[in-house]
Amino acid sequence: MAHFDIENLTFSYPIGGKESLSGVNLSIEKGEYIVLCGKSGSGKTTLLRHFKSVLTPHGKRSGRILFNGKPLETIGQREQAAKIGFVMQNPDDQIVTDKVWHELAFGLESLGCDQKTMRLRVAEMASYFGIQGWFHRDVASLSGGQKQLLNLASIMAMQPEVLILDEPTSQLDPIAASDFLNTVRKINLELGTTIVITEHRLEDIYHAADRVVVMENGKISAEDTPRKVGALLHRQKSEMFAALPTPVRVFYESGAEGECPLTVREGRNWLTETFRDRPLSVTAPDLEPAAAETEQPALRMKEAWFRYEKESPDVLQGVSFEVPAGSLFAVVGGNGAGKSTMLKAVCGICRIYRGSVEVFGKSLKKYKSDALFHNCLAMLPQDPKSLFVKKTVREELEEMCGDAEKRAAVADVCEITALHESHPYDLSGGEQQRAALAKILLTEPRLLLLDEPTKGLDSFFKQKFAGILKKLQAEGITIVMVSHDVEFCAEYADLVSIFFDGQILTTDTPRRFFGQNSFYTTAANRMSRCVFQNAVTAQDVTALYHINREGRA
Amino acid sequence: MKSDAFGRFHPAVCFLYFVGAIGFGVVIQHPAYAAAGCIGAACYYLVLRGRAAWKRVLSLLPIFALLSVINPLFNTAGSRVLFFVFGRPYTWEALCYGMAIAAVFVVMMLWFSCYNLVMTSDKFTSLFGNLIPALSLLLVMVLRMIPSFLRKASQIQHARQSIGKSVGEGSRISEKIRHGMTVLSALTDWALEGSVVTADSMRARGYGTARRTNFQIYRMTAADWTLLVLIVLLAAAVLLAGGTAAAYTPVLSIEPLTWGFAAYCLYVLIPTALHVKEAVLWRISISKI
Amino acid sequence: MKKSALFSILVIVLLIPATLYLGSRLSGHWYYLTSTLIIVEIMIPFFLAFETRRPQARELVTIAVMAAIAAASRAVFAFIPHFKPITAIIMITGIAFGPEAGFLTGAVAAFASNFIFGQGPWTPWQMMAFGIGGFLAGLLFHNRKLTAKPLWNAVILAVYGFFSILLLVGPLLDSCTIFTMGTEITPAFVGTILLSGAPVNVTHGVSCAATMLLFSKPLLEKLERLKTKYGMMEARRDGV
């Protein structure tokens, strides 16, 4: 008997009329680890929400969902609450209470457990998830990764048989994300809990999956082991192929044959095998031309020092860097290192107490605040929602600029024309990001600051967003972006810097920069560095592969 | 906050103690009792806050003086007239009465200052979680939301600032109000949207499927019971012994002190005594090493 | 009749007069204790009704959000001295979700914010004052169409807000001072306290009116949108 059986499930929301799910059939065995992937709006979340009656959306529905062989709706709410765990996307909003220990116990309290059981389960969970150290803390003092781990632990305390995770790491930084996903994997291996998970970043989980299910337009378009799904998506020329882990993409785009590598290690072995005893005609892609010395940088920060309070430690400790006009400048670095603070210092939101900031050759202090944010500088905050203050996207744009033509032009660049009448909160993550971008572009900035612009975006939205950035660059706008997203920076930035311990350490072009790193670099670089040098993107590796194979032939 | 022996007892014991201390403090207007209350509460506050406490304690002195002298202006009862203000008598008895009321006020403020440091929100809610589950959950949720809303509000203000939509010091008040409303409106949108997820998360974890129980992180130990019994006995002694009545107007009539006063002194000094005891024990245990 | 309703009646008919009688009998000076007990007794039926109803998750969350917004609202206006929109937000909640929700939002907002600013003898009085503010607004305006013109509605609410603070919420807050600081409750003493509180109450009233004028319509729209989009606060009426 399968754990979950979905039979011919079709569903449409009351508004829109289009079928969000059509004829979905899926059978999940006990203890399986299933990765569900698909573009935003392909129906992943809608499908996941059908796994639990209280979360099931309202709308028209046909078909059946069986849990342990019984129709889901005949199973009591209490039993469902305990047996089917559900982790959602936003770590913050899922938390109900103000203390870590209370949140851990929340589900057990709801089920009406007695003190003895609760004590034991809470203790078990805190120990298993390594929460003892922050057991008594206020929830408000936790990092995003800790919050999401707490959500998971609170659900695991009810000892569910199935764990459903809907993009659980989209709001986390890469290190917290892989920690979280490793914990999920551990739960699956050690407790035998069935896992169904959707994710944008497949690198960390794809190889571990027993089965990968691909959704497109509300239908399941592929469903098989990771290796077979990779081959299938490549054969179908599916859009989803671009979201697969780097080794898989490199393998198929190179046109290689044999067993497809899923992890960096396998990719490394495959490349080493392929080019063993084979002279390489070209071992590295051309390095980008060194940045030309421009006469006036768009932004120059010199020896900037900043701390939030008099007694608190310095966040910026003598930051110095220059951003050449017209470039896309990326700053990478760990979480909480102070990258966002640096952007705020550029805007004057955080006032540095020593050092200087010059925007287009003029000291920040000499700008009047109106002049600085008009036709000069603008910042896209980490959470684009922070910018939304109106009922529709149209009103958001109108707030910024009275000129209808300008508005239309910017909306066109950001591809949000069709969304004008929507409420900003009804948009998907990628659309919100573009609407927010449109809003700040209406100040006609020449220097654009982006704080973690790819956070929570899937690979399609990322590509789209990169396209927009390139367009803006072509118009002469200088872009400074801070990001955790190494892959994105390697592919699209002109210059990359690393921020560590309150300082900018080095600045270089992506190939030079990532080429010399061995840990903090892209998956493509890590898997290819045994054979090639300075190949930092999947395209780089594929190109080198082709040159060397064809050179031999 | 300094290490506090009393605050580590079970919240129920602490809460009951404060109810008693504040209750007695408000009800008994006997000068000796008021003075004892002041000293007990001030000592404990000093234990809790260390040197920072002096500022607060001293700041209550002018309030005490002010309340004492103002009250006779409104209360003209009393027999010994000191002088006349606006043709109304200002009497010695009313002044004494004013001082008593002012002392009561000071005692209350001091005890509440201690209460706020000891009875943190989690202690309060865990105490009342079984009695009023829905309300205490509501309270816990509000306490969780306030800091995150404050953080979001400043994020929104920064976002407004970085697109040139903020108000400076020179802005007109109407502009400032409008700006504030915009931020408030955006904050509300964000909060309400998040509330949908929170509600889902609650229901997904079984909220509403059974009568809620309440996870007790604090347990009553033998020491808690002992202290509780002591507190109850002392309180009963104060109540039963009498000698707490004091009338000021029209004539002063203050009851003579009984052994109940000794019980009261012990009562108000419990937290300080516990602190001293602990400090001494530590000294001894360290000197043994 | 429900058990909670019966209990409420019992409280009002028996407990409060009993407290008054005992308070006046035992000594003439137990003003603060007696008055505070009565305040608490008045609030008990509200809390009890909420408790026995076993509120739905969505209802609980919505009230929590509104109470937290109300409590946090002062900080949003930190750059304008003495500008307090808290009462207006509580009143609007009452208007949107009914008197009971208004009362709870007010009482909980006051109580919760005192965990930050410090509990004191004023806590029950603030809970009562803000709670009643939300309750009355809900009683008068919940589910009631005022005029066809939204601007006029906002004006009506602003005027209402101003006067309800000046005449009800403000004096209730000041009563705490009267009972804690006075030896004898004479008309002159009460008058002096109320008069000295008047400037604060007027600015409070003005900020409430300004908030009503500018924010009542958008906030009511937001709450309405939430109701239609997610069915928030609806479950109760459906009897689910």
pLDDT tier at B87, thresholds 50, 70, 90 = confident
Residue B207 to residue A110, Cβ atoms within 8 A = yes
pLDDT tens sequence across B4-16:
899 999 999 999 9
pLDDT tier at B48, thresholds 50, 70, 90 = very high
pLDDT tens sequence across C43-65:
988 898 898 888 889 889 999 99
Same domain, C72 and C153: yes
Q: What are the distances in angstroms from CA A146 to CA A130, A206, A435? A: 10, 23, 30
pLDDT tier at A553, thresholds 50, 70, 90 = very low
Separation CA B89–CA B72 (nearest Å): 9
Q: How far does the CA of residue A451 sit from the closest CA of chain B (Å)?
A: 11
Q: Which two tokens stand for residue A227?
A: 């290796």
Q: State yes or no: pLDDT of A337 exceeds 80.
A: no
Share of chain A above pLDDT 70, in %: 98
Q: How many domains does chain A have?
A: 3
Residue A389 to residue B185, Cβ atoms within 8 A = yes
Separation CA B194–CA A90 (nearest Å): 9
Query: Residue B67: which of C68, C181, C214 has the nearest Cβ?
Result: C181
Q: Name the nearest CA neighbour of C118 among B118, B17, A97.
A: B118
Best of C214, C215, C225, C234 to mutate (most A CBs within 10 Å, chain A): C225
Same domain, C135 and C75: yes
Q: State yes or no: pLDDT of C10 exceeds 90.
A: no
The confidence score (pLDDT) of residue B287 equals 77
The confidence score (pLDDT) of residue C238 equals 37
Same domain, C47 and C61: no
Query: Residue A106: which of B147, B151, B205 has the nearest Cβ?
Result: B205
The confidence score (pLDDT) of residue C235 equals 43
**Has residue B214 been placed in a domain?**
no
Q: What are phi and psi of A39, to 5 degrees?
A: -65, 165
Q: Which residues lie closer than 8 Å to C28 by C-beta, 6 or more apart? A: none
Chain A residues with beta carbon closer than 8 angstroms to that of C225: 423
Q: What are the distances in angstroms from CA C63 to CA A68, A441, B133, B139, C105? A: 38, 37, 15, 10, 6
Q: What are phi and psi of A495, to 5 degrees?
A: -135, 140
Question: How many Cβ atoms from other residues are within 10 Å of residue A9's Cβ?
Answer: 20
Same domain, B18 and B41: yes
**Has residue B279 been placed in a domain?**
yes
Q: Which residues lie closer than 8 Å to A482 by C-beta, 6 or more apart? A: A330, A331, A332, A333, A339, A340, A342, A343, A450, A451, A452, A499
Mean pLDDT of B148-168: 89
- Chain C contact partners (≥3 CB pairs within 8 A): A, B
**Has residue B71 been placed in a domain?**
yes
The confidence score (pLDDT) of residue C29 equals 56
The confidence score (pLDDT) of residue B183 equals 93
pLDDT tens sequence across A108-151:
999 999 999 999 999 999 999 999 999 999 999 999 999 999 99
pLDDT tens sequence across A427-436:
888 899 999 9
Mean pLDDT of A200-223: 91
Same domain, C1 and C85: no
Mean pLDDT of B26-52: 92
Q: Which two tokens stand for residue B184?
A: 């408030």
User: What SS3 class is residue A158?
Assistant: coil
Same domain, C164 and C67: yes
**Has residue B234 been placed in a domain?**
yes
Contact A56, A46 (CB under 8 A): no
Residue B153 to residue C72, Cβ atoms within 8 A = yes
Separation CA A237–CA C165 (nearest Å): 67
The confidence score (pLDDT) of residue A293 equals 64
H or E element, residue A378: strand A377-380
Rg value, chain B, Cα? 26
Same domain, A181 and A217: yes
Q: How far does the CA of residue C78 sit from the closest CA of chain B (Å)?
A: 9
Chain C residues with beta carbon closer than 8 angstroms to that of A16: none
pLDDT tier at B276, thresholds 50, 70, 90 = very high
Average pLDDT, chain A: 90
CATH code (residue C126): 1.10.1760.20
Peptide bond into B62 cis (omega under 30): no
Q: DSSP readout, A194-230?
A: EEEEE-S--TTTGGG-SEEEEEETTEEEEEE-HHHHH
**Has residue B35 been placed in a domain?**
yes
Same domain, C47 and C155: no
Same domain, C153 and C201: yes
Mean pLDDT of C10-18: 77
Same domain, C109 and C35: no
The confidence score (pLDDT) of residue C236 equals 43
* 262-281 in chain B: CB under 8 A from chain A: none
Same domain, C34 and C83: no
Q: How many domains does chain B have?
A: 2
**Has residue B166 been placed in a domain?**
yes
Residue C85 to residue B195, Cβ atoms within 8 A = no
Mean pLDDT of A341-347: 91
Q: DSSP readout, C128-183?
A: HHHHHHHHHHHHHHTT----S-HHHHHHHHHHHHHHHIIIIIHHHHHHHHHHHH-S
Separation CA A310–CA A548 (nearest Å): 59
Q: What ipTM does this complex have?
A: 0.89
The confidence score (pLDDT) of residue C2 equals 61
Q: State yes or no: pLDDT of C184 exceeds 90.
A: no
Question: How many Cβ atoms from other residues are within 10 Å of residue C191's Cβ?
Answer: 11
Q: DSSP readout, B181-237?
A: HHHHHHHHHHHHHHHHHHHHHHHHTTTTSS-----------HHHHHHHHHHHHHHHH
pLDDT tier at B252, thresholds 50, 70, 90 = confident
Of how many residues is chain A composed? Answer: 553
Does C63 lie at the interface with B, CB-CB under 8 angstroms? yes
The confidence score (pLDDT) of residue C237 equals 40
Q: Which two tokens stand for residue C171?
A: 């004096």
C198-210: string of b/e by CB count within 10 Å (b at 16+)? eeebeebbbbbbb
Residue A412: how many CA atoms within 13 Å on its side-chain side?
6
The confidence score (pLDDT) of residue A294 equals 65
The confidence score (pLDDT) of residue A291 equals 62
Query: Residue A109: which of B158, B198, B215 has the nearest Cβ?
Result: B215
Average pLDDT, chain C: 85
Q: How far does the CA of residue C10 sit from the closest CA of chain A (Å)?
A: 31
Q: State yes or no: pLDDT of B88 exceeds 80.
A: yes
Does B164 lie at the interface with A, CB-CB under 8 angstroms? yes
Same domain, B79 and B25: yes
Same domain, B121 and B233: yes
Separation CA B33–CA B39 (nearest Å): 10
Does C43 lie at the interface with B, CB-CB under 8 angstroms? no
Chain C residues with beta carbon closer than 8 angstroms to that of A109: none
Best of B192, B201, B207 to mutate (most C CBs within 10 Å, chain C): B192
The confidence score (pLDDT) of residue C1 equals 47
The confidence score (pLDDT) of residue B14 equals 96
Does C183 lie at the interface with B, CB-CB under 8 angstroms? yes
Query: Residue B197: which of A94, A138, A369 has the nearest Cβ?
Result: A94
Q: State yes or no: pLDDT of B134 exceeds 50.
A: yes
Does C61 lie at the interface with B, CB-CB under 8 angstroms? yes
- Chain A contact partners (≥3 CB pairs within 8 A): B, C
H or E element, residue B167: none
CATH code (residue A443): 3.40.50.300
Same domain, C43 and C121: no
pLDDT tens sequence across B54-86:
998 999 999 999 989 988 888 888 888 888 888
Chain B residues with beta carbon closer than 8 angstroms to that of A381: 155, 158-159, 162
**Has residue B176 been placed in a domain?**
yes
Domain region containing B155: 132-204
Same domain, C48 and C61: no
pLDDT tier at C3, thresholds 50, 70, 90 = low
Mean pLDDT of B119-127: 89
CA closest to B147 among chain A residues? A140
Same domain, B161 and B111: no
The confidence score (pLDDT) of residue B180 equals 92
Same domain, C35 and C45: yes
Residue B186 to residue A388, Cβ atoms within 8 A = yes
**Has residue B16 been placed in a domain?**
yes
pLDDT tens sequence across A147-163:
999 999 999 999 999 99
The confidence score (pLDDT) of residue A256 equals 84
Q: Name the nearest CA neighbour of A75 among A61, A56, A95, A47.
A: A56
Place of tokens 């670095």: A333
Residue B139 to residue C111, Cβ atoms within 8 A = yes
Residue A499: how many CA atoms within 13 Å on its side-chain side?
28
Contact A137, A60 (CB under 8 A): no
Chain B residues with beta carbon closer than 8 angstroms to that of A86: 204
Does B183 lie at the interface with C, CB-CB under 8 angstroms? yes
CA closest to A426 among chain C residues? C229
Last residue of one domain, picked from the residues B173, B204, B235? B204
Same domain, A165 and A66: yes
Contact C136, C99 (CB under 8 A): yes
CA closest to C64 among chain A residues? A96
Q: Which two tokens stand for residue C25?
A: 């009998």
Domain region containing C47: 1-54
Q: Which two tokens stand for residue A111?
A: 């089920």
Residue A52 to residue B201, Cβ atoms within 8 A = no
Q: State yes or no: pLDDT of B161 exceeds 50.
A: yes
Residue A93 to residue B201, Cβ atoms within 8 A = yes
Q: How many domains does chain C have?
A: 2
The confidence score (pLDDT) of residue C232 equals 57
CA closest to B126 among chain A residues? A102
pLDDT tens sequence across C98-151:
999 999 999 999 999 998 888 988 899 999 999 999 999 999 998 887 777 888
Does C221 lie at the interface with A, CB-CB under 8 angstroms? yes
Contact A223, A214 (CB under 8 A): yes
Separation CA A294–CA C86 (nearest Å): 54
pLDDT tens sequence across C139-173:
999 888 777 788 888 999 999 999 999 999 999 88
pLDDT tier at B257, thresholds 50, 70, 90 = confident
Share of chain A above pLDDT 90, in %: 59
Does A391 lie at the interface with C, CB-CB under 8 angstroms? yes
H helix runs in chain B, sequence order? 11-27, 31-49, 52-74, 92-118, 121-128, 133-161, 173-204, 222-241, 259-288
* 210-239 in chain B: CB under 8 A from chain C: none
Same domain, B23 and B113: yes
Query: Residue A81: which of B200, B205, B217 has the nearest Cβ?
Result: B205
Q: Which two tokens stand for residue A375?
A: 């036709």
Q: How far does the CA of residue B281 sit from the closest CA of chain C (Å)?
A: 33
Separation CA A481–CA A380 (nearest Å): 9
Q: State yes or no: pLDDT of C25 exceeds 70.
A: no
Domain region containing A475: 299-528
